[in-house]
Amino acid sequence: MSTGSGSSGPAARRTRVVRERIDPRLTAALFANYRTPVDAILELVDNAVDSRVPGRPLAVDLSIRPGILVLTVVGGEGMGPRDLEREYLRWGGSRKRAGERIGRYGQGGKAAVGHLGARFAIVAGRAGDDRAYGFSDQDYRDRSRLRTYELQERPKPVDAPLGYVRIEIGAVDRNPDARKLRQRLAETYRPLLEAGEIVIRVDRVPVVPAAWQLEERHEVAVRAGGRIVRGWYWLLPDPPPPGTDPGVRLYHLGRLVGSPDWFGHAGPASHPALNRLVGEVELPHVPVTMNKSDVDRGSDEWAAVEQRLHRLLAPVVRRLGLESGRLASPQALRTADQVRRILARALRLLESGRLFESEEGTAGMRGDGQLSLDEAVRAAEPAPDEQAGEPAPPIADAQPGEGEGDEGDEGDEGDEGEPPVPGRQDEAKAPPVRPSGRGARGRAIGEVVIRALDPRMRSAMVVEDGVRRVVINSRYPLYEVRKGDIWYQLETALREVCVAIPEATVPEFERRVNELMLVSLSLTERRRRARRSPRPRTPPLLPP
């Protein structure tokens, strides 16, 4: 039976063409791609830096007034009519290539303007032309449609061989602080500023990087990721000057990317002397994120660089690790051991999951399903089988403000702990906490140690030789005011432990710190009452 020559089956199949589309309102989302107005200004400066002409210094002037920000760039390539249309006004497209220009995503400068203000005007002229062209937009943040502008021709205000770009942003509602902006520009473009390739002024004040105070300097030139990585590292005086961030700075084509890095080493949290190590390396071949906040740490290029520089820095990190740090007082060392003991008992509740995640209806709990404080304290006491095996160490009698570990503290009898290692008395080390219960492995600590770190750092959680340690900074201002007493150390250690709890919001974090602190205080109070209560005397035997 014939089905007809024009049919391919019971129902003829039809093909339909679909196309990608883009909503212009998507560009408004890019306006929020910056944390601060300074980050948005750096994006505009990045575009200016990309326009440099070899052998000619680039001048970048920023003027900040209430509600107005003006960026003027002289000496670069500039922009003509074709550049304005095909480069500046084109979202997501750019002629810039990786390894050649800082910006290459075709959205940074335009999004930065929208982040800073509601209207703008631009005037630009290409190097070699004697004319400039401009347009303006009085409602740039209205992204209901893509824009069409009429270019207006005008004389170029600089010599014809020089490129020229002037961007004026109006209705600015995110005015930056000029002093902080100068500091950030100096840090971000330090190599280019020091080499004289660019000159930046903010309100006519030149941006000048602060000079490093160095004791020794070592050049870096190693092959990693298929390219030669160049730079240097150096050692600052001891103690380092205030306000200096330790670590090696990463630069991409002369532009700072992210925070100082340690290439897999523990950094100052492992030893205070590492605060002296600083440096800079240029990584033109390592990909960076869209807003230049970090390198692409999943790329093969970064993996090769990190591995090679880890080996390069290993000798100096090892050398600095052998230097003696600032010594802590014997009282503070004993206090750290007491903190470890109190924390070990309080953590039993957290590690068993009963203090915060307990189910409703369990006996001995409040109506909301959490343990009451008295029940929590009793739950934290050693179980009979623990007492039969290895008893938990006693908790010293300490009062707020006095608890540096008094000389006459009887709570440490028979448990002196491990004596300090000669030459390393700057640390307090406690026997390891033996966690129990579900999820204990990720949150338990093995030691509480005291080290002299950067004064801006209160504490840190580190893993060294497979042991998790809470490092309390003896140079932190509040530590010095409290003289390292037991309650300051206990709160600091608790906060570090609770930070490691996964998926905890800020309110949950504060609640857990507070409740653990209450349990710890109750543990100490029960121990003090037990020690001070008079023992019942056995009556003498009566004569028969």
pLDDT tens figures, 509-518 = 777 778 777 7
Tell me, yes or no, whether 279 lies in a domain: yes
- Give yes or no: residues 46 and 118 share one domain: yes
Q: Which stretch of DSSP H or E encloses residue 375?
A: helix 373-380
Cα-based distances in Å from 175 to 50, 60, 122, 330: 25, 18, 19, 51
- Give yes or no: residues 185 and 250 share one domain: no
- Give yes or no: residues 173 and 55 share one domain: yes
Cα 371 to chain centroid distance, Å, stands at 35
> Are 134 and 114 contacting, i.e. CB atoms less than 8 angstroms apart?
no
Domain closes at, from 298, 321, 344: 321
Tell me, yes or no, whether 491 lies in a domain: yes
For 203-345, list the strands marked E by DSSP: 205-206, 216-224, 227-235, 247-252, 255-256, 277-282
Phi, psi of 323 (to 5 degrees): -75, 140
Residues with pLDDT less than 50, the chain: 1, 356-373, 380, 382-443, 544
Q: What is the DSSP letter of 462?
A: E
Cα 492 to chain centroid distance, Å, stands at 19
- Give yes or no: residues 107 and 178 share one domain: yes
- Here the contacts of 131-136 (C-beta below 8 Å, separation 24 or greater) are 131/155, 131/156, 132/156, 132/157, 132/164, 133/80, 133/81, 133/84, 135/84
- Give yes or no: residues 371 and 471 share one domain: yes
- Give yes or no: residues 371 and 313 share one domain: no
- Give yes or no: residues 308 and 360 share one domain: no
Exposed / middle / buried, residue 215 (Cβ in 10 Å: 0-12, 13-18, 19+)? exposed
Tell me, yes or no, whether 17 lies in a domain: no
Tell me, yes or no, whether 254 lies in a domain: yes
Tell me, yes or no, whether 416 lies in a domain: no
Whole-angstrom Cα distance, residue 530 to residue 499? 33
- Give yes or no: residues 165 and 245 share one domain: no
Exposed / middle / buried, residue 111 (Cβ in 10 Å: 0-12, 13-18, 19+)? buried
- Give yes or no: residues 295 and 174 share one domain: no
How confident is the model over 305-363, as pLDDT tens digits?
Answer: 999 999 999 999 988 877 755 556 677 778 888 888 777 777 666 566 555 443 333 33
> Are 107 and 91 contacting, i.e. CB atoms less than 8 angstroms apart?
yes
241 Cβ contact list (under 8 Å, min separation 6):
213
Domain with 468 in it: 330-409+421-531
- Give yes or no: residues 124 and 224 share one domain: no
Tell me, yes or no, whether 542 lies in a domain: no
CA dihedral 323→328→334→337, nearest 10 degrees, is -50
Please give the pLDDT value at position 390. Answer: 40
391: tokens are 């008893």
Tell me, yes or no, whether 152 lies in a domain: yes
Order across the sheet with 227-235: list the strands: 216-224, 227-235, 277-282, 247-252, 255-256
Tell me, yes or no, whether 194 lies in a domain: yes
Cα 300 to chain centroid distance, Å, stands at 23
Domain closes at, from 206, 237, 256: 206
**Predicted TM-score of the model (pTM):** 0.63
* Nearest C-alpha neighbor of 243 from the set 197, 218, 278: 278
Residue for token pair 């290439």: 263
- Give yes or no: residues 308 and 352 share one domain: no
Cα 465 to chain centroid distance, Å, stands at 24
- Give yes or no: residues 40 and 106 share one domain: yes
User: Helix (H, G, I), strand (E, B), or coil: what is residue 281?
Assistant: strand
CA dihedral 52→58→63→64, nearest 10 degrees, is 50
Please give the pLDDT value at position 429. Answer: 46
Phi, psi of 310 (to 5 degrees): -60, -45
Domain closes at, from 187, 206, 225: 206
183: tokens are 């500091």
Please give the pLDDT value at position 118. Answer: 93
What's the domain count of the chain? Answer: 3
Q: What share of residues in the chain are helix, strand, coil (percent, to 5)?
A: 30, 20, 50
Please give the pLDDT value at position 399. Answer: 38
165: tokens are 């770009």
> What distance separates the 2 farthest-apart alpha carbons in the chain?
128
